[in-house]
A and B are shown apart, each in its own frame.
Chain A
């Protein structure tokens, strides 16, 4: 875990120094003459050996949390990241909520009613959902629910209503993966003996499913959902661009289009760190759900 993190900081750092385009030239344009150009390179410390610069970069970032200044808006990247982090966070949380809600229910229904029309329908819609590009799905949701019906604002941020369409779009792809996983997990648990014992006790089928089966089936689903959470961030980048949601995703895309390297550097680091953190949280939550692991 730690070495991976370390390697990523090196990659993020090298990013600025290996990509084409001189940072000073990008920040200040062609106008400044050679002499002030040299002076600025000195002041920014671009002439020091790479290792020293890396040391300063790590010091600034890890200790002071200072990700440097955006070339474009000359504002502190860390400030911008903090403000936008909330937007992406809510979006991913809400879409994960949709994903689990839809994913688990459909998964259970199609598992319990195996080979019925519902099950086949569930499977077809899942595999279709997995083949729909998120951005197109977003555009379609926007066309239908915002433009045609006008129930929701088409894009932008503001009230909770703005959050519904983007989160549903983002959540839908992940929901499809959760459906498949829940279905296979539930099917496996249904074959277990203790389910037969529960039934032998005269327990109602619904209680057998929603308490006995679900409780056991959910453990692997939670782990998988945790992993999916990481991929949600990737998806968020696209969905934020479609719905003009001012989160970290659209900030990264703008950064790339304007070659704003401090922004790209910070976000790549942050996204991968977030991804690793989530995997860790999933491992921890695994223990919480499954008593057997807890006492080990």
Chain B
């Protein structure tokens, strides 16, 4: 385990949001790590806290409603939560950078593409304008954008969704970050563009050896991109394993349910399996397993006690009473 060092190590991170006076924990004591050069997939339905976790890593949780209530986020051995804003800013966009789901609105409409890439370059390295300009054009080439000199001085509204996502990636990787957090980068794109973006990210990963935290709810993407996967449900990590085990030997009923709902080209079935019920609203389930209401294999114990993460075989954990050894 120790031969490749963990780039990021999160231990029982808890994030609470205040609404109408009450404080609800949207992320409830999650722990996982990302090894250098590894792509970790974070899977879960929307509302399970995966985006909030990524924002907390970047230190971008809006402070009045949200608050990091506990746990640590260690990046290269240092706990990011202790960083002062000034130091955190040095990390953002330089050591850890992030790309978002909605390319159409992620770029500032009134600034040119070039200016938006230069901004991150000038922030973190002392270059002058021309050096920044060249570096930006180089990045545009790197992410596969045709006629980079011309695009450099265009405005965002002149580019398509895919192109804009490429620019976002260019911005993200401009300062060779050690960790790139991609929050559902391809969800808003149509399939063909999605494939191009994923291939692009794959090559870039080889070239730059950046570790990626890939947040998605699309298991197909996970299969293609990720080395290891963390499954989240209602603010908790319910399963963590390498990608092959996930598809071949999933343990947690929720993971099974997710996998069950993927249509297989080979099989022909009339009705796709879908998990009954909905994700419980954060903070409504006080005790017991949060998936209990929707779990086919629910036992009494599940409703009573909150299941811990059981260690399955090497590197495989699962939060479900089925696997309690007692």
Q: Point out residues on A near B: beta carbons under 8 Å.
A: 114-115, 192-194, 196-204, 212, 215-216, 290-292
Contact = CB atoms under 8 A, between A and B. Distances in A.
Nearest to A192: B105
Interface residues of B, number: 28
Contact of B109 (A198, A203, A291): A291
B157 interface: yes
B142 interface: no
Nearest to B90: A202
A196 B54 CA distance: 13
A202 B100 contact: no
22 contacts: A192-B105, A193-B102, A193-B105, A194-B106, A194-B107, A197-B107, A197-B108, A198-B108, A199-B60, A199-B92, A200-B92, A200-B98, A200-B100, A202-B89, A202-B90, A202-B91, A202-B94, A204-B89, A212-B108, A216-B108, A290-B110, A291-B157
B119 interface: yes
Contact of B171 (A193, A197, A215, A216): A197
B93 interface: yes
Given A115-B64, A292-B157, A200 B97 contact: yes
A200 B123 contact: no
A200 B91 CA distance: 10
Interface in B52-110: 58, 60, 64, 89-94, 97-98, 100, 102, 105-110
10 tightest A-B CB contacts, nearest first = A202-B92, A202-B93, A201-B93, A193-B105, A201-B120, A194-B108, A202-B89, A200-B98, A193-B106, A197-B106
Contacts of B89: 202-204
Given A192-B105, A193-B102, A203 B64 contact: no
B323 interface: no
A204 B89 CA distance: 7
Interface of A is mostly: helix
Q: In the complex, which of the residues A193, A203, A290, A292 has the most CB atoms of chain B within 10 Å of its own CB atom?
A: A193
A200 B110 contact: no
Given A200-B60, A202-B124, A292-B157, A194 B93 contact: no
Nearest to A197: B106
Contacts of B124: 202
A202 B58 CA distance: 9
Q: Which of A198, A201, A203, A204 has the most CB of B within 10 A?
A: A201
Contacts of A212: 108, 111
A114 B102 CA distance: 26
Given A200-B97, A202-B94, A202-B124, A216 B102 contact: no
B155 interface: yes
B21 to A, nearest CB: 14
A200 to B, nearest CB: 5
B100 A292 contact: no
B100 A201 contact: no
A220 to B, nearest CB: 13
B243 interface: no
Interface string B108-144: 1111000000011001100000000000000000000
Contacts of B105: 192-194
Contacts of A203: 89, 119, 123
A201 B123 contact: yes
A200 B93 contact: yes
A157 B8 CA distance: 70
B168 interface: yes
A196 B106 CA distance: 8
Contacts of B94: 202
B12 to A, nearest CB: 25
